[in-house]
Amino acid sequence: MNKQKTLTLLHEIQKGEISPEEAIIRLKMEPFEDLGYARVDHHRELRQGVAEVIYGEGKTPEQIIGIASAMLKKEHKTILITRMSTESADEVSKTIPITYHGLARVGIVGDMPEPDGIGKIVVATGGTTDLPVAEEAAITAEALGNEVVRLYDVGVAGLHRLLSRLDVIMGARAIVAVAGMEGALPSVIGGLADCPVIAVPASIGYGANFGGLSALLTMLNSCASGVCVVNIDNGFGGGYLASMINHM
C-alpha cells in the first residue's frame, strides 16, 4: 500500500465511509504476499517511499512475472527490475509489457514517473566502458522520479573534458560518479561540487585492478569530503541513494 492509498483510507475512516475494523482488515491484508518462492513486500513504498525492486539475476522469467503481476494488482505504477538478461526480458514480455534497457540490464514495467525530485542528479563516468553501471544508476534514478543529466567519458586521463562541464557539476543536487581503473574520478568531482558525491567503483581495468577492488579502495580513501561509496558495479545502489538525497 502506497502513501496515497493509505491517505485515502484514512479519509474514508474520517468521513465514516468505512469502519476502523474494516480498515484494520485492509491493512492486515497489505503487508506482504506469499507466492511460495517470494514474499512480495507491498508495504515497502509506505515505509521507505519506494516500492520493492525486483533483482532479476538468478530469478526465472516465471518468477519475475509472478512478482511483477502481484505488484501490478496492488496498483504499482512503475516496477523496476535490475540485472535482467535479454533472454529473461524476452520471455517476460510475452506476458507483461516491459521496456528493456539492454546496456543497463534493467527492465521497466509500467510508466516512468514525471520527475518530482528537488533538483538534478548527474551521473558521470570515467570512460565509455563504465556505461553499463552508469546506465543502471541513471535509469534507476529516473524510475524513482528524478531528472538525470548524463556526463560520460570525463575521466582523469583527460581532465579538461570534466572541467569543460563545471556548470553541470556545480548545478547538481547529487552526483553519481562511476569509475574503474584507479577510480580517481569521484575524488576530483568531490573537490569541485557542493553536493554529495556517490562513488561507484567499476570492475574495469587490467590485472592489478582485482575486479574493481583497486577502484573501491581508492574511493574509500578519498581525500575529498562528501564522498560516499557503494559496492563494486552497484549502479542501482548509487542511483537509489542519489534519489533519496534529491527527494529530501
CATH of the domain at 130: 3.40.50.1970
In a shared domain, residues 239 and 131 = yes
In a shared domain, residues 237 and 163 = yes
Determine the Cα–Cα distance for residues 5 and 129; give it in Å rounded to an integer: 42
Determine the pLDDT at residue 25: 67
In a shared domain, residues 102 and 171 = no
Q: Which three cell numbers stand for residue 76?
A: 504499482
Angle among Cα 114, 120, 56 to the nearest 5 degrees reads: 65
Tell me the per-residue pLDDT of 61-110, one tens digit each, with 9 for 90 and over.
999 999 999 989 888 889 999 999 999 999 999 999 999 999 999 999 99
Is the separation of the CB atoms in 133 and 233 below 8 Å?
yes
In a shared domain, residues 184 and 242 = yes
Closest CA to 78 of 106, 38, 47: 106
Residue 12, H or E segment: helix 3-14
Q: Which three cell numbers stand for residue 230?
A: 557503494
In a shared domain, residues 2 and 54 = no
Determine the pLDDT at residue 2: 57
Low-confidence ranges of the chain (pLDDT < 70): 1-6, 9, 24-30
Domain end (from 91, 110, 129):
110
Q: For the whole model, what pTM was predicted?
A: 0.87
Q: How many domains does the chain have?
A: 3
Determine the Cα–Cα distance for residues 199 and 69; give it in Å rounded to an integer: 34
In a shared domain, residues 124 and 240 = yes
Determine the pLDDT at residue 47: 77
Question: What is the residue whose three cell numbers read 584507479?
Answer: 182
For residue 12, which phi and psi values (nearest 5 degrees)? -65, -40
Contacts of 228 (CB under 8 A, 6+ apart): 196, 197, 198, 199, 241
Within-domain flag for 115: no
Q: Which three cell numbers stand for residue 141?
A: 534514478
Domain that holds residue 2: 1-30
Within-domain flag for 75: yes
Within-domain flag for 23: yes
Determine the Cα–Cα distance for residues 178 and 183; give it in Å rounded to an integer: 8
In a shared domain, residues 126 and 239 = yes
Torsion sign across C-alpha atoms 56, 57, 61, 63: negative
Amino acid identity at 13: I
In a shared domain, residues 134 and 197 = yes
Determine the pLDDT at residue 187: 96
